[in-house]
Amino acid sequence: MSGMDEQKKKAEAWDREDPLSRFREEFYLTEGQIYLDGNSLGLLSKRAEKEVFHTLGSWRKHGVDGWTGGESPWFTLSERLGAMTAPLVGADAQEVVATGSTTVNLHQLLATFYRPEGSRTRILADALNFPSDIYAMQSHIRLHGLDPSEHLIRVTSEDGHTLNEETIIEAMTDEVALVVLSAVLYRSGQLLDMERLTRAARERGIRIGWDLCHSIGAVPHRLTEWGADFAFWCNYKYLNSGPGGVGGLFVHQRHHGRIPGLAGWFGSDKAVQFDMAHRFTPAADAGAFQIGTPHVLSLAPLQGSLELFHEAGMERIREKSLRLTRFLMELVETQLAGLGFAIVNPRDDARRGGHVALAHQEAVRIAHALKDHGVIPDFRSPDIVRLAPVALYNSYLDVWEAVRRLKRIMEEKDYERFEKKRGVVA
Ligand SMILES: *Cc1c(COP(=O)(O)O)cnc(C)c1O
């Protein structure tokens, strides 16, 4: 029996004993297709769909009274979904609220927590971060009348893919007012040591905030215990809340009562919001950091999706996710050897998020060819194919089959049929 056949048997055996296998039926999967792009846009689940219809039904039935009546009043929906999200980030219910989007929430948190004072004027970030986060940081530096080229420090990467925690800590000097980092880097999938970095920042009197876009729903967190000042994320990647779905934020309880940098009436103490006073009374919890009326229809899918996470349990999800990506790396190494791929995510379980990042000179065309063969990856410029087998809806056999198709594409040079250009989205 060839290695590939043995690996298939192993995948089938793992699928049979997988405690999460029943969740696959909760999602809409396309027959014949292997979806490995759940770190960009998670798939629709039946529960999420049900909640959208539920919400439309409430609107139809209750009209304006849906804000305070019906089964799930919209007035407090963001707080309820925040409480449901809290276990995924290791927070108390009142420290989390479902609101805004990644970038908007980062703006809110920078407006609140970036306070250049004396010689502490700089924001410490990294050279591998997502552009939107960088733009937000640059704009707040400018709003303080400072120059981003001087006040935004970006820790560089030695290998172009990963960051060294030691180097980040060395950069936490007494000129730094705030650190903003991603828990999992969006390209390489490196998981930073959040606990260590948070402790190091706090020991130096520096505030620290975390972008959890690529870690929430893939990796467990303990934000309250670690003492992170704030965190923010989108819910449409591993949390499957749909395109443009509402995001979330965490503010540590030691900061509750603080006036948000960007105030709006939905950040009010709920008891007095409808007094319509011109004096702002912020909510006593993370709810204070909301701005305007919640996007109720875009919040609805999150509720259904979070139910699935509660049933599955974050620890089991992480365990399966690690096993899926470990298996994927084993297949890449054994089946795609000599075909020009380099695995650029860290190998170590403790340093790996939910996806595998493969560098290849022909990455764009390979991504196109994979799609043509029913495997949905994503491409990140200039040369990375990201493959994210998701614990709730992918099987071990999916991983095996994806590599089998990729191997054929490479051996037959099928990718040469495609243009070396990325589409608007890919
Ligand atoms: C996905 C992602 C974003 C997206 O921001 P939006 O405001 O939701 O468009 C931002 N930052 C990181 C690190 C991401 O991974």
Q: Which two tokens stand for residue 225?
A: 């215990």
Instruction: Answer for the pair 232, 248: CB distance below 8 angstroms, yes or no.
Output: yes
Give percent of the chain above pLDDT 90: 96
d(CA 198, CA 194): 6
pLDDT tens for residues 252-273? 999 999 999 999 999 999 999 9
d(CA 222, CA 225): 6
139 is in an annotated binding site: no
Relative to beta strand 248-251, strand 342-343 is unpaired
Tell me, what DSSP letter sits at residue 72? S
Between 198 and 70, the higher pLDDT residue: 198
Residue 145, SS3? coil
Question: Does residue 426 surpass a pLDDT of 60?
Answer: no
CB of 101 within 6 A of ligand 1: the answer is yes
How far the first Cα of the chain sits from its last, in Å, is 37
In this prediction, residue 1 carries a pLDDT of: 56
Q: Is residue 176 part of a domain?
A: yes
- Give the domain range for residue 134: 50-311
Q: Is residue 39 part of a domain?
A: no
Average pLDDT over residues 44-57: 97
d(CA 309, CA 412): 40
CB of 253 within 6 A of ligand 1: the answer is no
Q: Is residue 422 part of a domain?
A: no
Nearest to 214 by CA among 378, 403, 25: 378
Q: Is residue 42 part of a domain?
A: no
Quick one: 120 and 171 in the same domain?
yes
Q: Ligand 1 center to residue 70 CA distance, Å?
A: 33
Q: Is 130 a catalytic residue?
A: yes
Which entry of 10, 75, 92, 130 is annotated as an active-site residue? 130
Q: Is residue 426 part of a domain?
A: no
Quick one: 184 and 273 in the same domain?
yes
Quick one: 347 and 270 in the same domain?
no
Q: Predicted confidence band at 420 (pLDDT cuts at 50, 70, 90)? A: confident
Quick one: 228 and 265 in the same domain?
yes
Q: Predicted confidence band at 423 (pLDDT cuts at 50, 70, 90)? A: low
Quick one: 75 and 101 in the same domain?
yes
Q: Is residue 36 part of a domain?
A: no
In this prediction, residue 421 carries a pLDDT of: 79
Q: Is 386 a catalytic residue?
A: yes
Q: Is residue 208 part of a domain?
A: yes
Last residue of a domain, one of 311, 333, 348: 311
pLDDT tens for residues 18-29? 999 999 999 999
- Paired strand residues for 27: 45
Which entry of 122, 237, 320, 380 is annotated as an active-site residue? 237
Quick one: 228 and 372 in the same domain?
no
Q: Is 237 a catalytic residue?
A: yes
Quick one: 295 and 388 in the same domain?
no
d(CA 164, CA 176): 18
Quick one: 148 and 196 in the same domain?
yes
Quick one: 190 and 285 in the same domain?
yes
pLDDT tens for residues 126-160? 999 999 999 999 999 999 999 999 999 999 999 99
Give percent of the chain above pLDDT 70: 99
Last residue of a domain, one of 254, 287, 311: 311
Q: Ligand 1 center to residue 102 CA distance, Å?
A: 5
Last residue of a domain, one of 311, 331, 351: 311
Residues in the chain: 426
Q: Is 211 a catalytic residue?
A: yes
Quick one: 83 and 138 in the same domain?
yes
Instruction: Answer for the pair 379, 367: CB distance below 8 angstroms, yes or no.
Output: yes
Average pLDDT over residues 187-213: 98
Whether residue 382 has a cis bond before it, omega within 30° of 0 = yes
Atom of ligand 1 nearest to the CA of 104: 7
Quick one: 90 and 203 in the same domain?
yes
Torsion region of 244: left, alpha or beta (phi above 0 gives left; psi -120 to 50 gives alpha): left
Residue 1, SS3? coil
CB of 190 within 6 A of ligand 1: the answer is no
Strands (DSSP E) along 312-406, which ranges? 342-343, 356-359, 375-376, 378-380, 384-387
Q: Is residue 73 part of a domain?
A: yes
293 is in an annotated binding site: yes
Question: What's the whole-model pTM score?
Answer: 0.97
What residue type is assigned to position 106 of the chain?
A: L
- If one counts the domains in the chain, the total is 2
Atom of ligand 1 nearest to the CA of 237: 1
What residue type is assigned to position 370 of the chain?
A: L
CB of 241 within 6 A of ligand 1: the answer is no
Nearest-CA residue for atom 11 of ligand 1: 130
Average pLDDT over residues 370-393: 96
Whichever domain contains 212, its CATH number is 3.40.640.10
Quick one: 282 and 332 in the same domain?
no
Instruction: Answer for the pair 351, 336: CB distance below 8 angstroms, yes or no.
Output: no
Whichever domain contains 349, its CATH number is 3.90.1150.10
Instruction: Answer for the pair 396, 324: CB distance below 8 angstroms, yes or no.
Output: yes
CB of 133 within 6 A of ligand 1: the answer is yes
Nearest-CA residue for atom 14 of ligand 1: 213
pLDDT tens for residues 103-119? 999 999 999 999 999 99
Q: Ligand 1 center to residue 46 CA distance, Å?
A: 25
Question: Does residue 425 surpass a pLDDT of 60?
Answer: no
Instruction: Answer for the pair 378, 424: CB distance below 8 angstroms, yes or no.
Output: no
